[in-house]
Structure 1
Amino acid sequence: MDTALRSRATDVFGWHLRPEQETVIDAVLARRDALAVMPTGSGKSAIYQVAGLALDGVLVVVSPLVALQEDQVVGLEDHPDAPRAVTINATRARRDLDEAWDAVESGAARYVFLAPEQLAKDDVVERLRTAGVALVTVDEAHCVSSWGHDFRPDYLVLGEVIERLGRPPVLAMTATGSSPVRSEIVERLGMRDPLVLATGFDRPELRLEVVRHTDDDAKRQAVAEQVGALDGAGIVYVATRAETLEYADALVEEGRRAAPYHAGLRVRDREAVHHAFRDGEVDVVVATSAFGMGIDKPDVRFVVHADVPESVDAYYQEVGRAGRDRQPGLATLHYRAEDLGLRRFFASGGPRPASLRAVFDAVPADGSVARSDLPAASGLSGRTAGRAANALVDAGVLVDERDGLARAAGAPASADAAVRAASERAEDRERIEESRIAMMRRFAETDECRRQFLLGYFGDELPEPCGNCDTCTSGSADETHAADGSHDAEWPPDAEVEHTEWGRGTVMSTEDDRLTVFFESAGYRTLALTDVVERKLLERV
């Protein structure tokens, strides 16, 4: 990286950049797209912030949460010499929005933070295009991937929006990007010959442990007692909104300053909890998965799961919020096998066939309809129409174009065929979610090194047991894990394979007696190596 820019980054932000950060910065300054897959707390935000010191124009930062956007703005404001940053979102008063747009259009603001749903508005895209966009940064980019654990259909518009903005360079960032997810991020965002930099998924400072339970009441008591005895700030993740209140009350009785958090709270109440936790006024937040994405608090000492997460991806994302200061952190999962049934319930569901049919019929065969006009055209509520439209886009039936939603080239001609295509896609997604739950069970019930399992799930490798998880401490971790390495050469991580029944897939990890593969139509599957060899189940492609 240019010496002058390196010095300026130190002068403005006080940062000494790591080589991997500089590599990505160099790429975007050379107008090359880049995908950065880096662990939580590794300084992904510094990449676009430093690039903003050298680029001429507006830096659009797409972020899924208003609280995260505001935290990033506050962080930039803490550096007086940093370029100005503003947020554009639906929670801001009209006067504040007008001031933000004035700053963007006059060149006074360099960084613009907004949610993907803002970019579905034609006027927002046009105003940004006129202002001149130098870089589009997509934070939490795994949200754009159908294979990702936190798929958000609002992200599907981004590829088309990037083109409308004049096709500036694209920087995508995530902490959880397995090989299939990385490939789809590149495809969905229309990235061209991107630099793909994955620095590894290991967080060695985090101790991983699982506590098994058979009785729900005993589990609840164990969670309250453990968290009540832990020092420092932490997060307790639960499955339902009601449990946020129940566990928070129990922790208050244990003497902790605890607060509940879930998506059903009013925006100002959620923001109050977020800020109180950030500022040290609350010790423990008891939350559903709605809390924590991009949370900017380096001294979280523990993350406790009172309920099993829906996937290993979600688990990794959530425990990664501990120990971001690189000091020791604790990740405890309180596991009861019966809780997996609740996750299966959450994994099911999708738009109804009647809603899919109404939206398909509302889009003319030889024209388009603006998303804002879709509720009136389909006779559905805005939320229902939006979900159905996103499902049809995800299935390749509809596409987002400059003038609105249109039928994709080669799309089914009839509504019935369109509904079948979307339903089949939804069934694929449900199978994938089921497979993620099965992998979560394997993680919770394994006797092998948990860190080796976790890294293998993401296609990363750890040659030896980590020594910092409960199975290593107890001595149950299998130290012969992939000991001879004889199968690694034949089925290495990221190898593309073809299965006789499940079709195309990507090898995620190879152990001494089994292989884990992600299949596009069937999700994660664990295959016995003896079956793979003797029955010729897989071929390299």
Structure 2
Amino acid sequence: MGSEEILHRVFGYPAFRGMQHDIIEHVAGGGNALVLMPTGGGKSLCYQIPALMRDGVAVVVSPLIALMQDQVAALRELGVPAAYLNSTLTAQEAATVESQVRRGELKLLYVAPERLLTERCLALLHQARLGLIAIDEAHCVSQWGHDFRPEYIGLGRLADEFPQVPRIALTATADDLTRQEIVTRLMLENARPFVTSFDRPNIRYNIVEKQDPNAQLLRFIRDGGHDGESGIVYCTARNRTEEVAAFLQEEGFNARAYHAGLTSAERTEVQNAFQREDGMIVVATVAFGMGIDKPDVRFVAHVDLPKSIEGYYQETGRAGRDGLPAEVWMAYGLADVVQQRRFIEKSDASEEFKRVQNGKLDAMLALCEATDCRRVRLLGYFGEMYRGACGNCDNCLSPPQTIDGTIMVQKFLSAVYRCSKASGHAFGAGHIIDVLRGQLTDKVSANGHQLLPVFGIGADVSQTRWRSVVRQLSIAGYIHIDVERFQTISLTGAARPILKGEQTVRLRETVEREPGPRTRRRNTKTGSKVKIGATLEAGLDSTATACFERLRAWRAQHARESGLPAYVIFHDMTLRDIARRQPVTLGELGEVAGVGARKLETYGDIVLKLVADEPLDD
């Protein structure tokens, strides 16, 4: 079968998207490829369809056991012979899979990188006929990337072991430096690059200044209309995930913590529950999420600042994989900036690595402090030009105000200078702000700083506002915060022109925007109003809505009985389309996107009965 026929008959989709067809034809023809495609863009089809077009078995390198299991389950549901080799299998089960590989009975074999490079596994593959090798999450090979995995380093060996087998490396996140390292380490110098747009137009971006993160998060979920929806909340520290999960549980949410401190069994249980349940929130460190294939995650929140734009993009990309509206939200503050700087400075990495990581953090902070379109900034980081404003980020929907902050900045810089000169050493932000606000603390009194001319000259400015000033000055490079010496502040050379009145400074207004009404958003490109966060029933009449609910109820029961994630059986969008079309024949049902030949054969009669509201056979 050709690629289009496989797409329709096996996967049930009417047409390719974007570069999918070109990538598939190139790889199926024996070419190597480097594919950069956003999460939800259909990367898996770029190697699954060539696997079915070529002779032999396709080996898929995947970093997560849960991802392997779900993808193999989904392929088997489609009638594709697929299996995985990982630590969850017994010796007998692994031996069975190995026998299937040798006999040529499989079309796709999923393997973790550390297992793939064992002599036993390499010997097995040499005994088989290989159709292609796919390396998923290829950014893990880069030490400059946000999710470096040492076990990926050795995958370049595959080029020597299997020189005639085409290889395709895929990732959703990679800046220029990471792309270069992927090519070098995986020996893909002759690979054809396919770089699609990084834009996820269905995602709305929101970034706020951190004040009371738990209360802000709750407001985002509740006022934003995410109550009862599946979501992920990211935290930096393990104990923080536990605290936030407990807070959300107290507020009535189905929330679970996930971090590396849990046992393997506990992490697996949380991840499986998230994949299979509706409306669950996982509060996690960045250890959670790579390869998560759950299409109906409606929101992703960060209560701490991510380390880089790559990490932020990868994590937020887990929202809205089904193409329906989704929302991402982040709260960040000065403490986040200091903590991230400390992580970098205290690491055992080389100075070059630290320099690169500091540059990535600077780019992340620039995104946070931006007063223009977030999407323009985000895509620009990956070298993609977005023309105009997106109309689907907080800055577009409620443009932030900037003010002439020159006098305020001069006051702060003067306080830093005078306190340091008077005492012979530097002080932290909290002390400087106390002096400016005229707070006679023990530390102020002990140093005699109440006698300085800067004491009390900023009493009309709130502490929160002053902390925003500190953060913006740090990001702009006017002050240096020493993470090794009690977070003390010193002036940089860039501060001199401001103090001398030779340069003005504009500051972003410190006003936290509440989540706006979530029912509608303005699309500035078309002028139309687009619903966000509305239920899937939106746009369906009463008959179609009732049908949709019957289909979802049946799917949920069948998923529980079969031990499969519900979306492996049918995606929400497929059920919604069935409910809207009301098919009465198998032929009509087969025209629905997501209903391939195997699913039509397996579920067709049941679905038609559900559409007709007829009782199912016991």
TM-score by length of 2: 0.62
Return the offset for 1:61.
Answer: 0.6
C-alpha distance in 2, partners of 1:428/1:318? 26
Relative to 1, partners in 2 of residues 1:253 and 1:228: Cα closer, same or farther, differing over 3 Å?
Answer: farther
What's the counterpart of residue 38 of structure 1? 37
The one-letter amino acid of 2:387's match is P
Residue type matched to 2:393 in 1? C
What's the CA shift for 1:9? 2.6
- Give 2:295's aligned residue: 298
Distance 1:441 1:54, change over 3 A: same
Report the 3-state secondary structure (helix = DSSP H, G, I; strand = E; otherwise coil) of the residue aligned with 1:131: coil
Q: Is the 8 A contact 1:129 1:166 kept in 2?
A: no
Alignment match of 1:337 (pick from 310, 334, 339): 334
Q: Relative contact order (alpha carbons < 8 A, sep ≥ 6): 1 or 2 greater?
A: 2
Matching of residues 455-534 of structure 1 within 5 Å: 455-476=379-400
Partner of 1:196: 193
Candidates 319, 324, 327, aligned match of 1:327: 324
Give the superposed CA RMSD: 2.0
Which is further off, 154-163 or 227-236? 227-236
**Does the residue aligned with 1:332 lie in a helix, a strand or coil?**
strand
CA contact 2:204–2:328 (8 Å) conserved in 1: yes
**Which amino acid counterpart does residue 34 of structure 2 have in structure 1?**
L
Per-residue deviation, 1:19: 4.7
Matched, 1:173 2:170: yes
Following superposition, the deviation at residue 350 of structure 1 comes to 6.0
**CA distance in structure 2 between the partners assigned to 1:477 and 1:51 by the alignment:** 51
Query: Which runs of at least 4 in structure 1 moved beyond 6 Å after TM superposition?
Result: none
1:533 is matched with: none
**CA displacement 1:14-56 (0-9 Å, x = unmatched):** 1232251110111111211011111100110011111111111
Which whole-Å CA distance do the structure 2 matches of 1:282 and 1:37 have between them? 30
CA drift of 1:62 comes to 0.7
Q: 1:184 aligns with which of 173, 181, 184?
A: 181
Contact 1:125 / 1:161 at 8 angstroms: preserved in 2? no
> In the aligned structure 1, how far is the partner of 2:320 from the partner of 2:7?
25
Q: Would you say 1:222 and 2:216 are equivalent positions?
A: yes
Name 2:233's counterpart in structure 1.
Answer: 236
Q: Does 1:76 align with 2:75?
A: yes
- Cα deviation for residue 266 of structure 1 reads 2.1
Name the structure 2 match of 1:13. Answer: 11
**1:451 corresponds to:** 375
> In terms of mean alpha carbon deviation, does 167-176 or 341-350 score higher?
341-350
Q: In the TM superposition, what whole-angstrom CA distance separates every residue of 1:225-264 from its partner, at most 9, and x where no partner exists?
A: 4335523111000111111111111111111101111122
Give, in angstroms, the shift of residue 298 of structure 1.
1.0
Q: 1:309 to 1:295 in 2, by over 3 A?
A: same
Confirm or deny: 8 A CA contact 2:231 2:297 kept in the other structure.
yes
Contact 2:231 2:281 in 1 (8 A): yes
Distance 1:263 1:93 in 2: 24
Specify the SS of the correspondent of 1:13. Answer: coil
Q: Deviations over 1:301-351 (max 9, x none)?
A: 100101111111100011111111111111100111211233234445666
**Cα contact 2:371–2:399 (8 A) shared by 1:** no
Q: Which residue of 91, 112, 116 maps to 2:113?
A: 116
Larger CA deviation: 429-438 vs 161-170: 161-170
Aligned-pair CA distance for 1:166: 3.9
In the other structure, the counterpart of 2:359 is 435
Question: Conserved in 2, the CA contact under 8 Å of 1:136 and 1:162?
Answer: no
Q: CA deviation at 1:97?
A: 1.3
Amino acid at match of 2:73: V
Q: Which letter does structure 2 place at the counterpart of 1:241?
A: R
Structure 2 alignment gaps of length 5 or more: 403-493, 495-618
Instruction: Return the letter of the residue paired with 2:241.
Output: T
Structure 1 residues 158 and 211, CA, compared in 2 at 3 Å: closer, same or farther?
Answer: same
Alignment of 1:265-284 (within 5 A): 265-281=262-278, 283-284=280-281
Aligned to 2:251: 254
Query: Secondary structure of 2:204's partner?
Result: strand
- For the 8 Å contact 2:255–2:282, the answer to whether it is kept is yes
What code does the residue aligned with 1:39 have?
A: P
1:281 Cα deviation from its structure 2 partner: 4.9
**One-letter amino acid of the counterpart of residue 194, structure 2:** L
Distance in 2, Cα, partners of 1:5 & 1:198: 20
CA distance in 2, matches of 1:295, 1:105: 30
Bigger mean CA offset, 451-460 vs 278-287: 278-287
| Matched-pair contact (CA < 8 Å) for 1:61–1:113 | yes
Query: Is the CA contact (8 Å cut-off) linking 2:85 and 2:97 kept in structure 1?
Result: yes
Label 1:477 to 1:294 Cα distance change in 2 as closer, same or farther (>3 A).
farther
2: CA distance between counterparts of 1:89 and 1:42?
27
Equivalent residue number for residue 526 of structure 2: none
Amino acid aligned to 1:37: L
> Does residue 285 of the first structure (1) align with residue 301 of the second (2)?
no
Aligned equivalent of 1:308:
305
C-alpha distance in structure 1 between counterparts of 2:5 and 2:370, whole Å: 48
1:4 offset after TM fit, Å? 3.3
Mapped to 2, the partners of 1:166 and 1:110 lie a distance apart of 20
One-letter amino acid matched to 1:221: A
Q: CA deviation at 1:185?
A: 1.3
Q: CA deviation at 1:224?
A: 3.3
Counterpart secondary structure, 2:108: strand
Partner of 1:376: none
Name the stretch that deviates more: 267-276 or 52-61.
267-276
Name 2:206's counterpart in structure 1: 209
Deviation sequence 1:124-180 (CA, Å, 0-9, x none): 112112212221101011111233222222111011133113441110111112233
Contact 2:175 2:310 in 1 (8 A): no
Aligned residues of 1:142 and 1:185 also touching (Cα < 8 A): yes
C-alpha separation in 2, matches of 1:149 and 1:19: 26
**Worse-matched range after superposition: 56-65 or 163-172:** 163-172
Structure with higher strand content: 1
Whether the 8 Å CA contact 1:449–1:477 is kept in 2: the answer is: no
Q: How many aligned residue pairs are there?
A: 399
Are the equivalent residues in 2 in contact too, given 1:119–1:157 (CA < 8 A)? no
- Matched residues in 1 for 2:257 and 2:66: separation? 16
The amino acid of 2:354's aligned partner reads E
Query: Quick one: distance in 2 between partners of 1:263 and 1:162?
Result: 33
Contact between 1:237 and 1:286, CA under 8 Å: does it hold in 2? yes
**Aligned residue in 2 for 1:51:** 50
Query: Aligned letter for 1:8?
Result: I
Unaligned residue ranges in structure 1 (runs of 5+): 352-422, 479-527, 529-541
- 8 Å contact from structure 1 (residues 471, 477) kept in 2: no
Larger radius of gyration: 2
What is the one-letter code of the residue matched to 1:12? V
